[in-house]
């Protein structure tokens, strides 16, 4: 319910639409005048806080207030009338007692003695109630939210994203070789790794991101209003900070390295519900594990790359630069849309392009085509074709890089001709396209 939003806001779960401290204070102290000034006189703020359409904000607001006071659900069509009856009851009780009764007492007496909806109420301090509710949502070992609350929260975020036509990305993270570390150094060491991993997750993510432990050494980051580029940027921040922390760390006089594999899926492009979105991200995670771990793939990449390797053939391709800078064009003939980019390097499996123009995240969904009929001074007998599978931004140099996977590998005979043409120079980096 909406009370949970307030409780967990106090415990670190900040919404994308941040609430002012005066709103929280008004709710927790139940300052009637302040609430009226903040909410009823400002419908836009009410709608933002309650995350509801324009036509039903008032009814939902009164339902929320009553639930906040008593944990009783009152139908929306009766909530406003009920609220003002409670205020009238408060006035009557205060007159009889010759002192201000307070809205909490009036509400409880109203439902206990007037409507008799309460039969056997128990009194519990709000801070204790908050702690109990928090325990039901939190993973005790790491302090992240647990899998049960993840599903509750994610379903709500999917609905919000649909309503406002926004992206929502899921990042699944799995610590590489965690069982080996756990078995080798013991469970206490394993627990320390989990806690440090969560610490890095929290330091790397935004206030509005939702972190949950999905089980064992697997974690979920839910990112509202975030597309593929933003999700990958978060994954790279986590990877960099983990590497910085463990670079000089030793355990039992041995260097310990902690890495992770990740999978990304984005609503609405990859799925229209959370369950399917998780399956898509998990498929991308599997690809990351299969291709050697310590890397992150998203579902769209997984779709394009599934034909690049199979269970019996893990191929790695040496990448080559071009001796002469070559600019090529990718685009969509039907919409007359195109982007020009300089070839950074090339392999049997694909090309990496550098673009100085800004590249939109949804470019991955447009299935833009690429055709290359010349590499350096060598003209190809059959043009190469491919699709964009990765977009990354170089923030320092204001450049975008596009990873393009060929639909078919360059066969060995053509590749030998290209190498012999003198068009290429070898690069030290070896990676999977």
For 400-427, what is the mean pLDDT?
71
Q: How far apart are CA 356 and CA 354, in angstroms?
A: 7
- Burial string for 357-372 (b: 16+ CB within 10 Å, else e) reads eebebebbbeebebeb
Res. 169 pLDDT band, cuts 50 70 90: very high
**Catalytic residue check, 394:** no
Beta bridge partners of 297: 263
Q: What tokens were used for 187?
A: 């469970």
C-alpha to C-alpha distance for 197 and 6, rounded to whole angstroms: 27
Alpha-carbon distance values, 362 to 227, 265, 386 (Å): 8, 13, 17
Residue closest to 293 by CA, chosen among 186, 416, 125, 174: 174
Taking residue 383's Cβ as centre, other Cβ atoms within 10 Å add up to 11
Residue 303 has pLDDT above 50, yes or no: yes
All residues at 6 or more sequence positions from 409 whose CB lies less than 8 Å from its CB, including other chains: 308, 348, 349
Query: Would you say residue 334 has pLDDT above 70?
Result: no
More confident residue, 26 or 241: 241
What is the mean predicted confidence (pLDDT) over 322-348?
70
Looking at the predicted structure, is the pLDDT value of residue 273 above 90? yes
Name the catalytic one among 51, 209, 217, 270: 217
Q: Provide the percentage of residues in the chain whose pLDDT is more than 90.
A: 9
Higher pLDDT residue, 136 or 305? 136
* Measured distance CA(86)–CA(101) in Å, rounded: 12
Asked whether residue 162 carries a pLDDT value surpassing 80, the answer given is yes
Same fold across 140-305 and 317-431: no
Phi-psi region at 294: left, alpha or beta (left = phi > 0; alpha = psi -120 to 50)? left
Compare 219 and 324 and report the one with higher pLDDT: 219
The predicted-structure confidence for 72-131, as pLDDT tens digits, reads as follows 888 878 888 888 888 888 888 888 888 887 777 888 888 888 888 877 665 555 555 555
Check pLDDT > 50 for residue 313: no
Can you give the length of the chain in residues?
433
Question: What is the share, in percent, of the chain residues with pLDDT greater than 70?
Answer: 63
Highest mean pLDDT of the ranges 123-137, 189-203, 319-333, 396-410: 189-203
CATH hierarchy code of domain 317-431: 2.40.10.220
Cβ atoms of residues 67 and 1 within 8 Å: yes
For the record, the structure tokens of 71 come out as 């944990």
Whether residue 414 contacts residue 380, with contact meaning beta carbons closer than 8 Å, is answered with yes
Helix axes 126-137, 2-10, angle to 10 degrees: 90
Q: Residue ranges of the domains in the chain?
A: 2-136, 140-305, 317-431
Q: Report the C-alpha gap between 263 and 376 in whole angstroms.
A: 35
Per-residue model confidence (pLDDT) at position 2: 35
Least confident of 64-78, 95-109, 129-143, 229-243: 129-143
Give pLDDT, residue 172: 95
Going by pLDDT thresholds of 50, 70 and 90, the confidence category of residue 186 is confident
How confident is residue 168, by pLDDT bands cut at 50, 70 and 90? Answer: very high
Provide the mean pLDDT of the chain. Answer: 73
| Three-class DSSP labels, the chain | CHHHHHHHHHCCCCCCCCCCHHHHHHHHHCCHHHHHHHHHCCHHHHHHHHCCCHHHHHHHHHHHHHHHHHCCCCCHHHHHHHHHHHHHHHHHHHHHHCCCCCHHHHHHHHHHHHCCCCCCCCCCCHHHHHHHHHHHHECCCCCCECHHHHHHHHHHHHHHHHHCCCCEEEEEEEECCHHHHHHHHCHHHHHHHHHHHHHHHHHHCCCCCEEEEEECCEEEEEEECCCHHHHHHHHHHHHHHHHHHHCCCEECCEECCCCEEEEEEEECCCCCCHHHHHHHHHHHHHHHHHCCCCCEEEHHHHHHHCCCCECCECCCEEEEEECCCCEEEEEECCCCEEEEEEEEEECCCEEEEEECCCCCHHHHHHCCEEEEEEECCEEEEEEEEEEEEEEEEECCCCEEEEEEEECCCCCHHHHHHHHHCCCEEEEEEEECC
Q: Which CATH number applies to 140-305?
A: 3.30.70.270
């Amino acid at each position: 319910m909406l009370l949970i939003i307030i409780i967990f806001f106090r415990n670190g779960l900040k919404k994308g639409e941040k609430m002012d401290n005066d709103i929280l204070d008004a709710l927790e102290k139940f300052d009637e005048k302040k609430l009226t000034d903040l909410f009823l006189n400002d419908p836009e703020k009410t709608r933002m806080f309650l995350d509801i359409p324009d036509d039903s904000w008032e009814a939902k607001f009164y339902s929320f207030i009553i639930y906040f006071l008593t944990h009783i659900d009152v139908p929306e069509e009766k909530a406003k009338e009920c609220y003002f009856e409670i205020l009238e009851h408060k006035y009557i009780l205060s007159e009889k007692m010759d002192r201000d009764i307070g809205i909490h007492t009036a509400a409880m007496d109203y439902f206990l003695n007037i409507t008799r909806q309460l039969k056997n109420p128990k009194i519990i301090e709000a801070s204790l109630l908050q702690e109990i509710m928090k325990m039901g949502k939190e993973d005790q070992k790491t302090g992240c939210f647990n899998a049960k609350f993840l599903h509750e929260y994610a379903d709500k975020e999917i609905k919000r994203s649909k309503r406002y036509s926004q992206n929502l990305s899921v990042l699944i993270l799995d610590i590489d070789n965690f069982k080996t570390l756990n078995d080798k150094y013991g469970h206490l060491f394993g627990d320390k790794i989990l806690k440090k991993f969560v610490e890095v997750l929290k330091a790397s993510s935004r206030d509005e991101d939702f972190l949950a432990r999905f089980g064992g050494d697997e974690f979920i980051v839910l990112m509202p209003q975030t597309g593929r580029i933003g999700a990958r940027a978060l994954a790279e921040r986590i990877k960099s900070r983990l590497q910085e922390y463990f670079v000089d760390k030793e355990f039992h006089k041995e260097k310990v390295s902690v890495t992770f594999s990740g999978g990304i899926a984005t609503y609405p492009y990859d799925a229209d519900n959370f369950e399917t979105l998780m399956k898509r991200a998990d498929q991308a995670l599997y690809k990351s594990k299969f291709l050697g771990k310590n890397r992150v793939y998203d579902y769209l990449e997984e779709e394009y790359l599934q034909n690049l390797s199979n269970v019996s053939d893990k191929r790695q391709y040496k990448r080559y630069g071009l001796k002469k800078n070559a600019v090529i064009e990718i685009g969509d003939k039907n919409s007359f849309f195109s982007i020009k980019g300089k070839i950074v390097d090339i392999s049997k499996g694909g090309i990496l392009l550098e673009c100085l123009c800004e590249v939109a995240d949804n470019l991955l969904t447009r299935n833009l085509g690429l055709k290359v009929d010349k590499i350096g001074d060598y003209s190809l007998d059959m043009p190469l074709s491919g699709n964009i599978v990765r977009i990354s931004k170089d923030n320092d140099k204001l450049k975008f890089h596009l990873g393009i996977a060929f639909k078919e590998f360059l066969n060995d005979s053509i590749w030998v001709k290209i190498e012999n043409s003198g068009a290429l120079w070898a690069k030290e980096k070896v990676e999977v396209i």
